[in-house]
């Protein structure tokens, strides 16, 4: 079980984590929460129906990591529109889609990252020298979403756009300042892959 998730009888997953691993994942999840931003303010409208239909931003985020986490729905960065009019239509559709979906997407990503922090805090409070983290099926799904978001964020900071970039990272010398981030990216990838396998029927 060390270093990878294994299925639990009846559903869910378990992984053995030491104190350093707990600290790293928790720190990354907290950084992700800070990047995504706070949830609805406490002094937000009291009417839950109004909150349900609140509009989000229409412009893509400036931060490249947030652009990766919240990409445009209708604009393909690898494809050039046939005409300026097509490009304008794609931007308009993307803006409209973002306005009505980004708040919910942010809330979901925030909830996933919070689930990671809460489960790690409970694990740290229960034992010393690391412990076995046991997740329900729902918690496993939240962890899977958070691990994916963490890898997207780190991958964006490292400039990873395709599988060839990942291969280059394996050959970085130990003195390269990106090496710790690369090691975290690869380690989280292993956790993600084994967690996916526990959720497969």
- pLDDT reading at 34 higher than 60: yes
**Is 90 inside any structural domain?**
no
Q: Which residue has the higher pLDDT, 181 or 94?
A: 181
Query: Is residue 35 classed as helix, strand or coil in its secondary structure?
Result: helix
pTM of the model: 0.81
- pLDDT reading at 123 higher than 90: no
**Is 95 inside any structural domain?**
no
**Is 46 inside any structural domain?**
no
Model pLDDT, residue 24: 94
Average pLDDT over residues 88-104: 74
**Is 58 inside any structural domain?**
no
Element (H, E) at 6: strand 6-7
The answer to whether the beta carbons of residues 134 and 195 sit under 8 Å apart is no
d(CA 97, CA 99): 5
Domain count, the chain: 1
Which residue range(s) make up the domain with 172? 8-38+103-199
**Is 82 inside any structural domain?**
no
Element (H, E) at 87: helix 84-126
- pLDDT reading at 49 higher than 80: no
Q: Which residue has the higher pLDDT, 84 or 119?
A: 119
Give the least confident one: 5-9, 53-57, 163-167.
53-57
Average pLDDT over residues 69-76: 74
- pLDDT reading at 114 higher than 90: yes
């Amino acid at each position: 079980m060390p270093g990878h998730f294994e299925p639990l009888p009846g559903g869910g997953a378990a992984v053995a984590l030491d104190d350093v691993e707990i600290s790293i994942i928790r720190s990354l999840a907290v950084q992700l929460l800070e990047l995504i931003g706070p949830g609805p303010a406490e002094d937000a409208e009291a009417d839950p129906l109004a909150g349900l239909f609140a509009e989000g931003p229409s412009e893509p985020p400036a931060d490249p990591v947030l652009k990766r986490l919240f990409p445009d729905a209708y604009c393909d960065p690898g494809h050039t529109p046939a005409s300026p009019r097509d490009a304008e239509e794609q931007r308009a559709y993307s803006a409209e889609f973002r306005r009505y979906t980004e708040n919910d997407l942010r809330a979901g990503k925030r909830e996933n990252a919070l689930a990671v922090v809460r489960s790690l805090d409970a694990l740290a409070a229960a034992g010393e020298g690391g412990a076995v983290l046991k997740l329900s099926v729902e918690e496993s799904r939240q962890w899977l979403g958070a691990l994916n978001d963490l890898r997207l964020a780190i991958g964006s900071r490292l400039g990873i756009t395709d599988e060839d970039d990942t291969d280059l990272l394996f050959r970085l010398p130990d003195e390269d300042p990106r090496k710790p981030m690369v090691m975290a990216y690869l380690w989280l990838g292993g956790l993600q892959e084994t967690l996916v396998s526990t959720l497969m029927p």
